[in-house]
Amino acid sequence: MKRFLFLVAMLLCVGATARTAGTPAALPASFAGWGASSAPLVTSPAGLDQLLGADAAGFREYIVKSVEQRNYAQGNQTAAITMYRLRDPSSAFGAYTFLRNESMSVVNLGAYASASRERALIVVGEMLLDVTVPAKQARPSDADLKQLADVLNKQADQTPYPTIGEHLPDKDRVRDSEHYFLGPRSLAQFVPLGTDDWVGFDHSAETIVARYRIAGKEETLLVASYPTQQIAAMKFSGMLRRFTFDPPGAVPAGQTVLFGKRVSSIVAVVVGAESRDAANKILDQVGYESAVTWDEPKQSYTEPGIGPMIVGAFMGTGAIMMLAIAAGIGFGGFRLLVKIFLPNKVFDRDKQIEILQLGISSKPIKAKDFY
């Protein structure tokens, strides 16, 4: 029995290894003078715990499909690149905002990218690159990483990135403080109001948060987008029942109070404001506009004047007359040629042709009269 269980375990391990090996590697063997110093290691999302530790649970909400790791070297410098392949570009963008920290600043490397001296995060389609180097070493230059991003972009998913960030007001927003979420665990790490799904991710909600600094104090704005207005109204009503919203007077010390509003299928909530007036400085900037586009081709018609109409009528009549004359001449010529080359075969056949007559005239009609 033990031998049988051992064989089953071995087969399962071989099957798991085959699935991992069957996942195609995407990281190139070299880029911009950096050469791979190890073979690519492609693993399943089960290995996220070793890579991200406590952040793995929230990171999994972005639907990780595989993880690829590879080491590179250029002279005495080394770098490790971890590539997370996610469900789509929206998930990759969210995972990027989840891992980004305040020590990193935005750089122009891909659709979205941030970097510090020792680390870089780059979004390329549905792929998220995490570039790290050992302590006291500098990461690959922006030009080198840009070349790597361009190589990967040729095989990346070109689906558009989420547009919910357009609802975030620009005024007073803390730079690079945006975070995009697709699940409650990742949201709870930045907005600690509970790890259960109080926003409505089970109803295809997407959420983005950003910090705002007003009068020296920080407030957090959460914007949630829902598929329909009805779902948004239902979820906003649930928030009003669960949390303390807009109490009269000042906010009690040590109590979390929310201020919010719903506009169509968008729900906006401010966390950390001292009063409704302070929250309104942000909420009043959140709006929703729907635009309807018509893709049918446009046609413009201008009625001509009397002069062109008369000229056109004469020209049309003349064309019809010329066509009639040409048809008459053509038929006459054809008939003449037939009578010359086929006499009494086609037209001159008065003895073979009879004409039905009503007999209302005393003079009978002869067929040869038609020839």
| Per-residue pLDDT, 332 | 86
pTM to 2 decimals? 0.71
Better-scored residue on pLDDT, 272 or 34: 34
The model's pLDDT over 59-81, given as tens digits with 9 standing for 90+, comes to 999 999 999 999 999 999 999 99
**HEC string for 13-70:** HHHHHHHHHHCCCCCCCEECCEEECCCCEEECHHHHHHHHHHHHHHHHHHCEEEEEEE
Nearest to 287 by CA among 258, 267, 271: 267
Average pLDDT over residues 346-355: 64
Decide: 114 and 182 in contact? Cβ < 8 Å.
no
| Per-residue pLDDT, 115 | 95
The model's pLDDT over 325-345, given as tens digits with 9 standing for 90+, comes to 999 999 888 888 887 888 777
The backbone torsions φ and ψ at residue 294, rounded to the nearest 5 degrees and listed phi first, read -120, 115
Rounded (5°) CA angle 121-127-129 = 25
| Per-residue pLDDT, 11 | 39
Q: Band the pLDDT of 92: cuts 50, 70, 90.
A: very high
| Per-residue pLDDT, 348 | 64
Q: Band the pLDDT of 298: cuts 50, 70, 90.
A: low
Better-scored residue on pLDDT, 215 or 265: 265
| Percentage of the chain modeled with pLDDT above 70 | 82
* Confidence check: pLDDT of 4 > 60: no
Q: Which two tokens stand for residue 61?
A: 């909400």
Average pLDDT over residues 91-111: 93
* Confidence check: pLDDT of 13 > 70: no
Average pLDDT over residues 306-328: 91
The model's pLDDT over 143-157, given as tens digits with 9 standing for 90+, comes to 999 999 999 999 999
The model's pLDDT over 112-141, given as tens digits with 9 standing for 90+, comes to 999 999 999 999 999 999 999 998 898 999
* Confidence check: pLDDT of 7 > 90: no
* Confidence check: pLDDT of 1 > 50: no
Decide: 93 and 128 in contact? Cβ < 8 Å.
no
Residues 6+ apart with CB under 8 A from 233: 262
* Confidence check: pLDDT of 347 > 70: no
Q: Which of 84-98, 164-178, 211-225, 302-316 has the lowest mean pLDDT?
A: 302-316
Residues 6+ apart with CB under 8 A from 174: 210, 211, 212, 213, 218
Rounded (5°) CA angle 252-255-260 = 95
* Confidence check: pLDDT of 12 > 60: no
